[in-house]
Chain A
C-alpha cells in the first residue's frame, strides 16, 4: 500500500515536470530544443547530486545544513591547488575533493553519532565554520578562470553521447544509489534506522553508525560538487553556493523524502531536484518578476510538504483502521 502511494507520487511528479516543460515550451518554444533541455538537466546536476546525499541524511531523521559550505570549502581548496600546481591531474584532484568532503561530513557524523548533538545544531555550527574556513583558506581572494588549468575547466563540459560529463556523473550517482537502496543491506539500513529507530535497534542496526555513514556520504558528494561547481562557473570565492543548502533540502522534500525520516525513494528525490531545476530554468525564460520567482519557489515547497504529510497521515490511518477493525472484530467475537 505504502509503496503504491509513493509510486504514485513519483509518477505524479514526473507528470508535473513534463506538463511544466511543455507549458513553458508553449510560451517559449525554444525551451523545448534539445540544447535547452540538456542545459536544464545539466544545470540541475549539482542540485541532484547534493540531494542524493541529503536524502540519506534525512532518511535517518537528521539534516545536513553544511552541504553548501562544504561545497564552497572543498571547491576553494581544489581551485587553489589547481591554481598553484596546474600539473596535478584532474582525477587526482577529484579524489582529493571526495576525501576532503568525506572528512568534513565525518566531522558532522562524529558529533551526531558519538557526542549525540542534534544534527540541526551540529550542521548549523559546521556550516558557519566551513564557510569561515573558506575565508581563512583564501584570505578572501578569488580563484579566477585564467588561473585554472584548461583541463580543470573542461572536464565537466566534455560531451559524451550528447550529454555533458557533469550530467553523466549525476546520472551515475543516482543509478548507484538507486541500486544500493534496493539491493544492498547497507543501503536499506538508512530506511530502517530512520523509519523506526527502536525497531532498528532490535534488528541489529546501529542507528548512530548509520547516521554517521549518511553524513559521510553527504559530505563526499558535497566534496565532488565542490569541484564541479568551481569548474562549471570557473570561479571560486567565499560565497560560492551561499544558501544552496535550502534548495537541496527543498529538492528532497518535494521529492517525497519525509522530514520525519524513513520514507522516500531515490527516484522521487531525483525528480524533486529535477522539478526545482526546471522551475529555476523556466522562470527566467518566461520572464517572471524576481519577486514572484521567490514566492513561487516557496509555494511549491509548502505544497510539497502538505502533500508529504497527508501521504504519511493516510498511511497512519490505514494501520489504525485495520487495527481498529481487527479490535472491532474481536469485540464482536467476544460479544
Chain B
C-alpha cells in the first residue's frame, strides 16, 4: 500500500518534471512595454500582477527592450513566440513595424492585443486606449467644475491654455470640451490661448489670461508643459486660491503645485488600471470570452469595441492632494 502510494507519487512527480511546468492550466500573458525601467510601465506591471492575482491561474511575463525601439520589441516578441505564451499585450514603439511579427504570433495561436500605444488593426485583435477623446474632453470640463467647488463659488469663468494651434489631439480635446460645456452651466469659457508647449510662452499666455480676465477662476491646460507653466504663473502672480489650474499632467511633475495649492486636482490615465485592464482583456481573449462588441475588464467594467477592435478603458484618473504623492514616485 505504502509502496503503491509512493510509486504513484513518483509517477506524478516525473510527469510534472517532464511536461513544461504547470503550463496545462496556467495562462501565460506577456506584457511587452516600450522599454524597461520606465515608471509608467512599472506601474502598469503592478496592475497586471493585481489582475493575475485576482484571476488566480495567470502568470505575467513582464518584458520589453532596453531602449524604446521597434527592433528591440520585435526581438522580445520572437522570443515570446518561442516560449509559446498564451497572449501578448504590447505597448508599441511603432504601430506598423510590429505587424509582421505579431501576425506570426497570431498564426501560432497566440492572442495579441495592444494597449497604451497601438498597433495597426492587422497585428492585433483589440487595442485598449487609456481613454477616449470624448471622455478626456468631458473630464477636463469636470475638473474645472471641481476647481469652482474648491474655490466655493457657484459660477465662474474658465480659460483653456493649449499647446500649438495646429496640434491635432489638443484641438480634438478642446472641441470635446466645448461639446461637454453645456452640461456644466456654472462654467463660462472666456478664452482659448496657445502656449506652443514652450514654458516661456505658456507662462506669458497664462499671465495675460489673468490680466485680461480679472475674474478668471480656472485655467484648464490639457498639456503637461502648459499646466506646469500656468501653475507657476499663478503662484508667481500671487493668485493661489483665486485662480485654479487644472488639466492633464503627470503626478511627478505636478506634486509640488498641488502642495502649493495652485492646482486643486488634475487628471491623467492611471497606468495601474491600464495594466490591469490589458491583462483582463488578454485573459478573456485566451478563454474565448469575448463578443463582437465588448470584452470584460474585471473591476474596470466593460470595454466597448468598435469595428477596428479599439476600446477606451475609462475616464482619466483624477489626482489630488490625497493621492498625488503616492503616484509621484511611480510616474
A residues engaging B (CB < 8 A)?
28, 30-31, 36, 39, 43, 46, 142, 144-147, 157, 229, 232-235, 237, 239-244, 280-281, 284-285, 287, 290-291
**B203:A233 contact, CB within 8 angstroms:** yes
Question: How distant is the Cα of A241 from the Cα of B260 in the complex, in angstroms?
Answer: 25
Question: How distant is the Cα of A43 from the Cα of B236 in the complex, in angstroms?
Answer: 12
Pull 8 A–B residue pairs with CB atoms less than 8 Å apart, ordered by A: A142-B253, A145-B232, A232-B232, A234-B232, A239-B225, A240-B199, A280-B201, A284-B205
Question: How distant is the Cα of A39 from the Cα of B194 in the complex, in angstroms?
Answer: 20
- A234-B228, A235-B232, A285-B211 given; name 20 further pairs at CB < 8 Å: A28-B211, A43-B203, A43-B204, A46-B200, A142-B252, A144-B256, A145-B232, A146-B255, A229-B200, A233-B199, A233-B228, A233-B232, A239-B197, A240-B199, A241-B199, A242-B198, A244-B200, A281-B207, A284-B207, A290-B193
A79 → B minimal CB distance (Å):
13
Residue from the list B208, B212, B328 in contact with A281, Cβ < 8 A: B208
The 9 closest A-B CB pairs, nearest first, are: A146-B256, A145-B256, A284-B208, A233-B199, A290-B194, A290-B165, A285-B208, A144-B253, A146-B255
**A36:B211 contact, CB within 8 angstroms:** yes
Question: How distant is the Cα of A173 from the Cα of B255 in the complex, in angstroms?
Answer: 35
Question: How distant is the Cα of A287 from the Cα of B228 in the complex, in angstroms?
Answer: 22
Residues 176 to 223 of chain B near chain A (Cβ within 8 Å): 191, 193-194, 196-201, 203-205, 207-209, 211-212, 214
Q: Does B257 contact A (CB under 8 A)?
A: yes
Residues 251-294 of B, flagged 1 when their CB comes within 8 A of A and 0 if not, give 01111110110000000000000000000000000000000000
Closest to A143 in B: B253
Question: How distant is the Cα of A264 from the Cα of B20 in the complex, in angstroms?
Answer: 80
Question: How distant is the Cα of A291 from the Cα of B166 in the complex, in angstroms?
Answer: 10
- Residues of A close to B203: CB separation below 8 A: 43, 233
Question: How distant is the Cα of A235 from the Cα of B255 in the complex, in angstroms?
Answer: 12
How many chain B residues touch the partner (CB < 8 A)?
A: 34
**B252:A28 contact, CB within 8 angstroms:** no
The answer to whether residues A146 and B208 also contact, given A234-B232, A241-B200, A290-B194 and a CB cut-off of 8 A, is no
**B256:A234 contact, CB within 8 angstroms:** yes
Q: Does B229 contact A (CB under 8 A)?
A: yes
- Residues of B close to A235: CB separation below 8 A: 199, 228, 232, 253
- Residues of A close to B201: CB separation below 8 A: 280
Majority-rule SS of B interface residues: helix
- Residues of B close to A240: CB separation below 8 A: 199
**B211:A144 contact, CB within 8 angstroms:** no
Number of A-B contacts (CB under 8 A): 78
Closest to A233 in B: B199
**B253:A31 contact, CB within 8 angstroms:** no
Question: How distant is the Cα of A31 from the Cα of B225 in the complex, in angstroms?
Answer: 25
- Residues of A close to B225: CB separation below 8 A: 237, 239
Question: How distant is the Cα of A39 from the Cα of B214 in the complex, in angstroms?
Answer: 16
A119 → B minimal CB distance (Å):
26
Closest to B238 in A: A35
Closest to A46 in B: B200
B173 → A minimal CB distance (Å):
17
Question: How distant is the Cα of A284 from the Cα of B209 in the complex, in angstroms?
Answer: 8
Question: How distant is the Cα of A251 from the Cα of B225 in the complex, in angstroms?
Answer: 25
**A291:B204 contact, CB within 8 angstroms:** no
B208 → A minimal CB distance (Å):
3
Residues 33-53 of B, flagged 1 when their CB comes within 8 A of A and 0 if not, give 000000000000000000000
The answer to whether residues A285 and B212 also contact, given A233-B200, A233-B229 and a CB cut-off of 8 A, is yes
**A291:B165 contact, CB within 8 angstroms:** yes
Question: How distant is the Cα of A280 from the Cα of B203 in the complex, in angstroms?
Answer: 11
Residue from the list B164, B205, B255 in contact with A144, Cβ < 8 A: B255
- Residues of B close to A281: CB separation below 8 A: 204, 207-208
**B212:A28 contact, CB within 8 angstroms:** yes
Question: How distant is the Cα of A235 from the Cα of B229 in the complex, in angstroms?
Answer: 9
- Residues of A close to B207: CB separation below 8 A: 39, 281, 284
Closest to B208 in A: A284
A295 → B minimal CB distance (Å):
13
A209 → B minimal CB distance (Å):
34
- Residues of A close to B209: CB separation below 8 A: 284
B229 → A minimal CB distance (Å):
6
The answer to whether residues A287 and B232 also contact, given A39-B207, A242-B198 and a CB cut-off of 8 A, is no
A70 → B minimal CB distance (Å):
16
Interface-central residue, A43, A232, A233, A242, by most chain B CB under 10 Å: A233
- Residues of B close to A46: CB separation below 8 A: 200
Interface-central residue, A146, A157, A244, A287, by most chain B CB under 10 Å: A146
Closest to B199 in A: A233
**B256:A31 contact, CB within 8 angstroms:** no
Closest to A280 in B: B204
A241 → B minimal CB distance (Å):
7
